[in-house]
């Protein structure tokens, strides 16, 4: 599904977010991640610019699905971080794919994008698929006491950039991240 604001067809440097659904935060209000805040940021960003697109992808739990994501939460309760919880369940740390994105952009005759993301792997993946990424728009959101460990894990273990980690919300036991 695509959420489009303004005239983007045939454009260059269109601001695009490839957003992966997160039922737990976007519907149930979970504070364990920053997914809802990232979606809200992207929606406000394209609205304020009066131009842009959010490609909403059904890839819950970094591609492993809602049921496995809930199991991963259980594994995390035993002290594993989000990456290791996926590995314990037999999944890679990130199973998402973006193969549909080039076709969506081609259908809209979009020549190049500025990607709203903090994830360097997403940029590399899209570029490998032939998407011309002119630049990155950082998606900085506030952390909370429930999400800061998750955000630090994404930064330290997956290379995510520009995370809105508030020092007051940092977990006490950071040795698990080194």
Question: Which strands, in side-by-side order, build the sheet including 52-57?
Answer: 2-5, 52-57, 14-20, 113-116, 133-137
Number of H helices, E strands in the chain: 7, 5
**Residue 172 confidence (pLDDT):** 43
User: Which uninterrupted H or E stretch holds 124?
Assistant: helix 120-128
Q: List residues with catalytic annotation.
A: 94, 96
pTM of the complete model? 0.79
In the chain the beta strands, taken as DSSP E runs, fall at: 2-5, 14-20, 52-57, 113-116, 133-137
Write the pLDDT tens digit of every residue in 4-63: 999 999 999 999 999 999 898 899 887 767 789 889 999 999 999 999 999 999 987 777
**Residue 81 confidence (pLDDT):** 73
Write the pLDDT tens digit of every residue in 102-125: 999 999 999 999 999 988 889 999
Residue 118 CB contacts under 8 Å (≥ 6 apart), including other chains: 138, 139, 140, 154, 160, 161, 162, 163
136 or 151, higher pLDDT: 136
């Amino acid at each position: 599904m695509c959420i489009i604001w303004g005239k983007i067809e045939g454009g260059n440097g269109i601001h695009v977010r490839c957003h992966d659904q997160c039922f737990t935060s976007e519907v149930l209000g979970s504070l364990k991640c920053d997914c809802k805040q990232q979606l809200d940021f992207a929606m406000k960003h394209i609205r304020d610019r009066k131009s842009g697109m959010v490609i909403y992808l059904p890839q819950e739990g970094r591609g492993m699905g809602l049921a496995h994501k809930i199991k991963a939460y259980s594994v995390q309760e035993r002290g594993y971080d989000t990456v290791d919880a996926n590995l314990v369940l037999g999944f890679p740390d990130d199973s998402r794919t973006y193969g549909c994105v080039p076709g969506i952009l081609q259908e809209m005759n979009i020549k190049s994008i500025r990607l709203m993301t903090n994830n360097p792997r997403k940029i590399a993946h899209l570029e490998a698929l032939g998407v011309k990424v002119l630049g990155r728009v950082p998606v900085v959101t506030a952390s909370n006491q429930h999400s800061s460990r998750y955000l630090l894990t994404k930064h330290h273990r997956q290379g995510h950039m520009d995370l809105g980690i508030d020092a007051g919300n940092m977990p006490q036991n950071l040795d698990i991240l080194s």
